[in-house]
Structure 1
Amino acid sequence: MFVYYSRIYEKYRLPIVHIAVFNYVMIKDEPDTFTITFPFKDILSFHFFTLELKKRNWRDYIKQPNLVALALLGKTGYDTKEKVQMKFEFLRTFLKLELDPARQKLVHAIFEKYHKLRTEEEIHLYKNLKQFPNDEVNQIRELMTSWEKKGYNKGIEKGIEKGKIEEKKSNLSKN
């Protein structure tokens, strides 16, 4: 942290608040200081804020219109029984932010990287969309469908490329 701080301070010469974000799978206690000492003198004591995501409850962050908090939601602490509910709430908050497509893609990709649902959980998610207002359900379905379409189209493209390579190999082996 100190090295990053010193480089940024050197460039801008402005006060900076540094925050270290830890996203470990297991809960750990992280220091919030960096010190350099010699037996004869303390040379440096650098303090910074720490944010250990697993120690934070996801409910504290879900209603905040903060893209970083929303993207990292999947790394916060939650009970496994709340996993599907957390994704519901993520989607609702996500849609309310009305992001441009690039930001939408980035935030969703980070959340999905950290918060993967098993097949049965995905089925449970789809079945329970009824408890939300119709306009939200339609937006969520539309959102999911567009991501699924992108993935499907990417798969088709890769399949076509692979088919062309196989065809070339087949033609070479015939000659």
Structure 2
Amino acid sequence: MDHDQNFKNLIIDYPLDALALFAEAEAPHFDQAANITPIRQQQLKDVLGGRYRELDVPLLVEWPNGEREALLFVLEEESVSRNFSIHRLAHYCLDLAQMFATNRVVPVVIFLGDASQDKQLVLAGDRGTYLTFHYLYAALAQMPWQQYENSDNLVACLNLPNMRYQPEERIDVHAKAFRGLMRLEPDIGRQTKYLDFIDIYTNLSDNELQRYQEKYPEEVKKMTSFSQRYEQQGIEKGIQQGMQQGMQQGMQQGEAAMLLLLVETKFGSPSAQTIKRIETADSQTLLLWSKRIIAANSLNDIWH
């Protein structure tokens, strides 16, 4: 399972909610005027080269009125805490600080399990401390799910399955996460996308699915309904695209037939090569050739 990509998608889709949940100490002062922009991957690759980490998510927070200096958040997801390296994170933050010519950098680590023991890095000698580094973190498995079950933060609702709960509460966690998704996300495409997210991280067993259907029939009905609606929208979109393509193809065929008739009238029966050339040309080219044939003395005058 690609946890890194799942969380990268989540953060990019809902950056304000992500910062409010994962970087709570820095986020309370944000307002709707703040502009949150994910840093483009290519921009990072060009500058950082081999030190670029594709699945880290740097977010630049700016205020259009200039009342506050921009903040750069560096979010890293770790599904296994022992894989976390505070040295690597510190190095990456220093790279980004240099790249953006700022010291306003906030490192944030999202642990799916327990938090790492390495919460602070200190470089020191016998007489002094010369560099200290620490980061904000959210250890989802240590966060009680009941605290967020009615939250207006969509990222919190979607992560209820990753929070702390008793095994017998698993189906309730799924139902609450689904209700939060339906309440806070109006877009059916994203509803489908993040229902998958909830399903993946709840991971209900067959027995739990049976109990879920018995305890939450309305939620099951809604899930079935919007999934069918989304599928129908996809079918209708495909039909519409097919009709449009068919109309365009029909117009092209009609234009080709008309040009072939003009060629035959003016220069006699066209060769197989000429027929193929005309039938495979696009509409714009056929229009150009149809204009040229009026004054053409030979086929070459049409092509060139």
TM band (smaller chain): 0.5 to 0.7
- Residue matched to 2:92: 4
SS in 2 for 1:127: helix
Q: What corresponds to 1:165 in structure 2? A: none
- Shift in Å, 1:2: 1.8
TM-score, length-scaled by structure 1: 0.66
The residue number in structure 2 matching 1:23 is 112
**Could you tell me which amino acid in structure 2 is paired with residue 115 of structure 1?**
T
Distance 1:87 1:56 in 2: 16
Q: Distance in 2 between matches of 1:28 and 1:47?
A: 13
Shift of 1:81: 0.9
Match status 1:142 vs 2:225 = yes
Identity among equivalent pairs (%)? 19
Instruction: Indicate conservation of the 8 Å contact 2:174/2:198, yes or no.
Output: no
Q: Which amino acid aligns with 1:100?
A: D
Distance 1:42 1:14 in 2: 19
Instruction: Specify which of 74, 79, 85 is matched with residue 172 of structure 2.
Output: 85
Distance 1:77 1:8 in 2: 33
| Amino acid corresponding to residue 94 of structure 2 in structure 1 | S
Shift of 1:93: 0.9
Q: Structure 1's 28 and 18: CA in aligned 2 closer, same or farther, altered over 3 A? A: closer
Q: Does 1:45 align with 2:132?
A: yes
Contact 2:109–2:136 (8 Å) recurs in 1:
yes
Q: Which has the higher contact order (CA 8 A, sep 6+)?
A: 1
Corresponding residue pairs, total: 143
TM-score of the pair, normalised by structure 2: 0.41
Aligned mates of 1:28, 1:48 — CA distance in 2: 12
Give the corresponding residue for 2:210: 123
Q: CA RMSD in A?
A: 2.8
**Which digits, 9 at most, give the CA deviation of each residue in 1:97-125, with x for residues without a partner?**
13424433443333222210001111111
Match for 2:107: what amino acid?
H
SS at match of 1:83: helix
Secondary structure of the 1:51 match is strand
Distance in 1 of aligned mates of 2:189 and 2:97: 30
| Change in 2 beyond 3 A, CA 1:146/1:128 | farther
5+ unaligned residues in a row in structure 1: which ranges? 151-175
Distance 1:114 1:138, change over 3 A: closer
Structure 2: 5+ residue stretches without partners: 1-88, 233-304
Q: Secondary structure at the match of 1:18?
A: strand
1:49/1:126 Cα in 2 relative to 1: closer, same or farther (>3 Å)? same
